[in-house]
Amino acid sequence: MISFIWPLILIVVSNTVYQICTKTVPEGANPFATLTATYAVGAVVCAVLFFVTNHGGNLIKEYAKLNWSPFVLGLVIVGLEAGYIYAYKAGWQVSTLPIVQSAFLAVALIAVGAFLYHENITWNKIAGIIACIAGLFLINMK
């Protein structure tokens, strides 16, 4: 059970700290300069964790196993990170931006699941889409 729960806890804690850090990027700081520092730290941490979790592992041999996805992931992560920074600079609130984007993301991923992975669109998922849309109206009411 713990192997099922701990990744969720890691995601929630990391995403909470992520939102706080992204919201507090200095107003005058260029988002892409900010991201170069962010990714430098991330690269070092990943390299250290690779060697801690793979005693005697060879990072170059691991790189040879890669396909296109980590390279595209690198591109889309920059878009994700820059999007959050720019959204906060534009005035989005930390209490609403993640919820709004998650609602849109949930709807988009239902479509992706159906078209790319042949997942069923069930009545529960349709109800979830309606709930997401209703939630967007409720959370953005003034």
Task: Give the span between the Cα atoms of 76 and 57, in whole angstroms.
Answer: 28
Task: Give the span between the Cα atoms of 141 and 100, in whole angstroms.
Answer: 12
Q: 127-131: long-range contacts at Cβ-Cβ below 8 A with a sequence spacing of 24 or more?
A: none
Q: What is the pLDDT along the chain (142 residues), one digit of tens a residue?
A: 888 899 999 999 999 999 999 999 999 999 999 999 999 999 999 999 999 999 888 999 999 999 999 999 999 999 999 999 999 999 999 999 998 899 889 889 999 999 999 999 999 999 988 998 898 888 877 6
